[in-house]
Amino acid sequence: MAEMLLRLEDIRVRFRTHGALRARLTGIDRPYLDAVDGVSLSLAAGETLGIVGESGSGKTTLIRSILGLVELAAGRIWFDGAEIVDRSDAALRVLRRQVGMMFQDPVASLSPRKTVRSLILEPFRIHGLALGDPAALMDMVGLPRALLDNYPHQLSGGQARRVGVARALALRPKLVIADEPTAGLDVSVQGEILNLLARLQAELGLSYVIVTHNLPVIRHVSSRLAIMYLGRIVEEGPTRAVFTAPAHPYTRALVAAVPRPDPDDARSEPLLSGEVPSLRDRPSGCPFNPRCPDAQDRCRIDVPAPRALAETRTVACHFPLSTRMTPRLTT
């Protein structure tokens, strides 16, 4: 069994909506939004974990909290066997040497005033290390060395994404976190980037956390999936099992919404209706109940606790869809 590289326990991230004085004067009981509300996850060495959900589900906030880019309100994080208790800048810098980050917008994440050479060497300067070989990094991600003196605006979207990959891998991290790595790219370029990530994982022994709303992509690159809705994990398990037999109505709806190449393949699964509720007005009970076609009275009152459907599958639902497994409360 592979050793655990990353573990999150009951992670919570809050954003204030009102100052303390204003909240007291106006009688507001909860002057904040819970963008991430009690998330627990783990990642084994060499594994690829996909985090999936609609926009506003808290995916990006969750991964940014790992690196201290947003402040934790509660929760614990372990990396490579050690708990990250100290969240000071110095301690987080040590963590960031071992965790590479690929941001969502490949061009906007690159400073327009710096050349590609300067951008991919920047991690060495930040950490006070001897400069690496920029040509070798370009070769690693399949970019011509002639682009080293170009600026971001002179790059295509695919080239900018490859520069982002080079930056993320410059210090040879154990873990790479990729936020929407194929967003805004042509389908053919998406395939090239995914093939690049797969090759580098095999060559360097990397672990990945990939955040996306693109289910066809994540189905082919991840070994496990975590489905997020309104700041919480509603289902987790092996990718193939989750796609084959979704246990949560939200997962079922996401899978049903994936375009199919056969126009004669009639859909029987219910699609999503309505919009994601505002975090300012989080529904009582199960957060998905206003949009769930299977919601019952209990769903509108009680928040579902995670249930273990199998050794490697959990679902936060009072009435899981899979009748082939016997749910039991997790400990």
In a domain, residue 56? The reply is: no
Average pLDDT over residues 180-184: 88
Asked if residue 297 belongs to a domain, the reply is: yes
pLDDT band at 226 (very low <50, low <70, confident <90, very high): very high
- Read off the pLDDT of each residue in 153-176 and give the average, rounded to a whole number: 95
The reply to whether 180 falls in a domain is no
* Domain-embedded: residue 151: no
Q: Classify residue 128: in a domain, yes or no.
A: no
Q: How far is CA 114 from CA 75, 111, 122, 289, in A?
A: 37, 6, 10, 48
Bridge partners of 266, per DSSP, are none
Q: Which domain holds residue 326?
A: 235-260+267-331
Q: Is the pLDDT of residue 330 over 50?
A: no
CA angle at 106 for the pair 103 and 110, rounded to the nearest 5°: 90
Domain membership flag for residue 285: yes
pLDDT higher at 264 or 209? 209
Of 263 and 70, which is predicted with more confidence? 70
Share of the chain above pLDDT 70, in %: 89
Domain count, the chain: 1
